[in-house]
Chain A
Amino acid sequence: EAQVTQNPRYLITVTGKKLTVTCSQNMNHEYMSWYRQDPGLGLRQIYYSMNVEVTDKGDVPEGYKVSRKEKRNFPLILESPSPNQTSLYFCASSLIRFANTGELFFGEGSRLTVL
């Protein structure tokens, strides 16, 4: 089944404790992206990757890191989480080989709470 898998789905952590949210897709998509969703603010892009070893900042990259060592994986790293990073996070992927833009496939989401 074609899907984007995120882990963990739910996490409560404390300020300053490094964490990684994993994202994996099995559709051989070149493009992957991370969004955070907050009430009243919609979906805001954190980082995106057009292909392996190619990453770029989105609208709200501060406090986050990403890497794209393999095509299928795009982990989101919070080196020193703070309470303002409490949010619902979505990973998404897209096939862009034949067109510059295409349908985004989203993961189920990861709800992160930083105390």
Chain B
Amino acid sequence: GQQVMQIPQYQHVQEGEDFTTYCNSSTTLSNIQWYKQRPGGHPVFLIQLVKSGEVKKQKRLTFQFGEAKKNSSLHITATQTTDVGTYFCAGNYGGSQGNLIFGKGTKLSVKP
């Protein structure tokens, strides 16, 4: 079946450093979503990217969708301790909500 590969699996950074997580698919995606899960919490929606080459920003977070709609990235500038958690991408194949496939997530830890 379809797979969304997400790397790295873990990332440890010093507070103030930047962080990036990447998602890749072997086939074209209809769109991609990003979620954040705080330790002990549930996933919370961050954003959805639909257009080829799309770039969206939310404060210190920058989301990109590749030109071929096969890859995406989330970049956090100057991490803070509040950024701790696991970040998941979820790729959509076929344009239906039922075809959403989650990556395995990148667990971010931030050292103060």
Give chain A's interface residues, CB within 8 Å of chain B: 31, 33, 35, 40-45, 48, 50, 56, 58-59, 90, 92, 94, 96, 100-109
Considering the complex, give the chain B residue whose CB is closest to the CB of A47.
Answer: B98
Considering the complex, give the chain A residue whose CB is closest to the CB of B99.
Answer: A101
Contact of A48 among B44, B90, B97 (CB under 8 A): B97
Q: Are A96 and B97 in contact (CB-based, < 8 A)?
A: yes
28 A-B pairs within 8 Å (CB atoms) are namely: A31-B98, A40-B9, A40-B104, A41-B104, A42-B88, A42-B102, A43-B43, A45-B100, A45-B102, A50-B98, A59-B1, A90-B42, A90-B43, A94-B97, A100-B95, A100-B96, A101-B30, A101-B33, A102-B97, A103-B48, A104-B33, A104-B45, A104-B90, A104-B100, A105-B45, A106-B44, A108-B42, A109-B42
Q: Which of A43, A56, A107 has most B Cβ within 10 Å?
A: A43
The 9 closest A-B CB pairs, nearest first, are A42-B104, A43-B102, A103-B45, A106-B42, A100-B95, A48-B98, A31-B97, A101-B97, A106-B43
With a CB–CB cut-off of 8 A, which chain B residues contact A92?
Answer: 43
B85 contacts the other chain (CB 8 A):
no
Q: Are A50 and B48 in contact (CB-based, < 8 A)?
A: no
* A76 CA / B104 CA spacing, docked (Å): 23
Given contacts A42-B88, A48-B98, contact A104 B43 (CB under 8 A): yes
With a CB–CB cut-off of 8 A, which chain B residues contact A50?
Answer: 96-98
Considering the complex, give the chain B residue whose CB is closest to the CB of A4.
Answer: B42
B35 contacts the other chain (CB 8 A):
yes
* A48 CA / B30 CA spacing, docked (Å): 19
Considering the complex, give the chain B residue whose CB is closest to the CB of A50.
Answer: B98
* A101 CA / B95 CA spacing, docked (Å): 7
* A48 CA / B92 CA spacing, docked (Å): 14
Q: Which of B95, B98, B102, B104 has most A Cβ within 10 Å?
A: B98
